[in-house]
Amino acid sequence: MPSVTAAPQLTDARPGEVADQAARSWDRVPGYLNAATLGLPPCAVVTAMQEAVAEWAAGTACPTRYDASVNAARESYARLVGVSPDRVATGAQTSVFAGMVAASLSDGAEVVAIQDDFTSVLFPFLVQQQADRGVTVRLVPREGLADAVAETTDLVVFSLAQSACGRLVDVAAVTEAARRHGARTFCDTTQAAGWMPVEADLFDLTVCSAYKWLCQPRGTAYLTIRPELTESLRPVSAGWYAGESIWDSTYGPGMQLAGDARRFDVSPAWLSWVGAQAAGEVFAQLSMEAVRAHVGGLADQVRETLGQEPCGRPVLALPDPDGALAGRLTGAGATVASRGGGVRIAFHLWNTQEDVDLVLRTLAG
């Protein structure tokens, strides 16, 4: 596999140092304000994947050697969210892992979820509700999630940061309500991991698609699980890569799955995991507190100009029912997204004061 050079250690970095590191790690793409849709790859990711494609084209790639990239990416992600690697499963999409969690519900289970959450964490549970198993899904407003948890609730499903607007769930209130009523929690950290500290141990299960704020290739996702829940989760996507001995699990019915979270692994899209390893090594060197201060500070400059309270989140959602504002921003050279009747502006590590100024000029015009 291509070698990856780790970024300088910045675990105690200030926001300015993080900005300097980002300038060294990413090529400048002026006006790209769309990390909430698709993160930009660090230069190390581009190099690693180009080298891997060249090996593939030359016929020198070896499938077994890709395991090192998968495991390195698993370890980097585990460090990022504060768990051991044996509690992390690797896969391709949030919906696949959510589907496995949904399929593992007991008949008659009650799920409480946010009514306008991203469908990758909603649809798998709604499918089970339609499956004549007695599963009930109660959909509630984000602000009322904690209050909606009841003695009848088995699982609380939610995104830590909402996709359309970036707003955060009140984690303390939701986890306390779940603990009080004996419910488990399943948290999607896709729109949070990579710009803010995430503690996977706060939840029973988490899932993360890494192609947004973690800047990995699409086709890389992670599940974390508390060890005591391993036996209760049904590995419905199990294949050879979920085996205790991967390359001895390719034929026949003699199934011996891994004893830890690897039993939930999905066969990897190899080249994506080469990129994931490189991206993981970049992010593993960063202080997430400093990243949050940097990217949230950029967004807060726009908020303050608009008369809004600063909140330290990197995502702004501005009303744009007819798409006119998105059109003006695009015309000015920005890349943004239209979501839920608004324009979504997302600042990340590669963004600078120039991008803030671009947004402010456009809004003023």
pLDDT per position as a tens digit, 197-246: 999 999 999 999 999 999 999 999 999 999 999 999 999 999 999 999 99
Type of residue found at 348: H
Task: Evaluate whether 185 touches 155 at the Cβ level (below 8 Å).
Answer: yes
Give the model's pLDDT for residue 22. 94
Residue 166 has pLDDT above 70, yes or no: yes
Task: Evaluate whether 315 touches 38 at the Cβ level (below 8 Å).
Answer: no
Residue 4 has pLDDT above 80, yes or no: no
SS (H, E, C) the chain: CCCCCCCCCECCCCHHHHHHHHHHHCCCCCCECECCCCCCCCHHHHHHHHHHHHHHHCCCCCHHHHHHHHHHHHHHHHHHHCCCHHHEEEECCHHHHHHHHHHCCCCCCEEEEECCCCHHHHHHHHHHHCCCCCCEEEEECHHHHHHHCCCCCCEEEEECECCCCCCECCHHHHHHHHHHHCCEEEEECCCCECCECCCHHHCCEEEEECCCCCCCCCCCEEEEECHHHHHHCCCCCCCHHHECCHHHCCCCCCCCECCCHHHHCCCCCHHHHHHHHHHHHHHCCECHHHHHHHHHHHHHHHHHHCCCCCCCCCEEEEECCCCHHHHHHHHCCCECEEECCEEEEECCCCCCHHHHHHHHHHHHC
pLDDT average, residue stretch 160-167? 95
Asked if residue 143 belongs to a domain, the reply is yes
Neighbours of 269 (CB within 10 A): 17
pLDDT average, residue stretch 303-311? 96
Total domains in the chain come to: 1
| Host domain of residue 188 | 66-283
Pick from 286, 299, 233: nearest CA to 260: 233
Asked if residue 222 belongs to a domain, the reply is yes
Compute the radius of gyration of the chain from its Cα atoms.
21
Asked if residue 178 belongs to a domain, the reply is yes
Residue 15 has pLDDT above 70, yes or no: no
**pTM for this predicted structure:** 0.94
Cα distance between residue 98 and residue 107, in whole Å:
17
Percent of the chain topping pLDDT 90: 94
Asked if residue 169 belongs to a domain, the reply is yes
pLDDT average, residue stretch 61-88? 97
Residue 2 has pLDDT above 70, yes or no: no
The residues that bridge with 173 in the sheet, in sequence order, are none
Asked if residue 135 belongs to a domain, the reply is yes
Asked if residue 208 belongs to a domain, the reply is yes
Task: Evaluate whether 64 touches 247 at the Cβ level (below 8 Å).
Answer: yes
Cα distance between residue 77 and residue 36, in whole Å:
19
Give the model's pLDDT for residue 1. 45
Give the model's pLDDT for residue 13. 60
Residue 8 has pLDDT above 90, yes or no: no
Asked if residue 194 belongs to a domain, the reply is yes
pLDDT digits (tens, 9 = 90+) for 241-298: 999 999 999 999 999 999 999 999 999 999 999 999 999 999 999 999 999 999 999 9
Give the model's pLDDT for residue 12. 53
Residue 14 has pLDDT above 80, yes or no: no
Cα distance between residue 352 and residue 22, in whole Å:
10
CATH (domain of 219)? 3.40.640.10
pLDDT average, residue stretch 91-112? 98
Asked if residue 52 belongs to a domain, the reply is no
Query: In sequence order, what are the residues at sequence separation of 6 or more whose Cβ sits closer than 8 angstroms to the Cβ of residue 205?
Result: 101, 184, 185, 186, 187, 223, 224, 225, 226, 229, 233
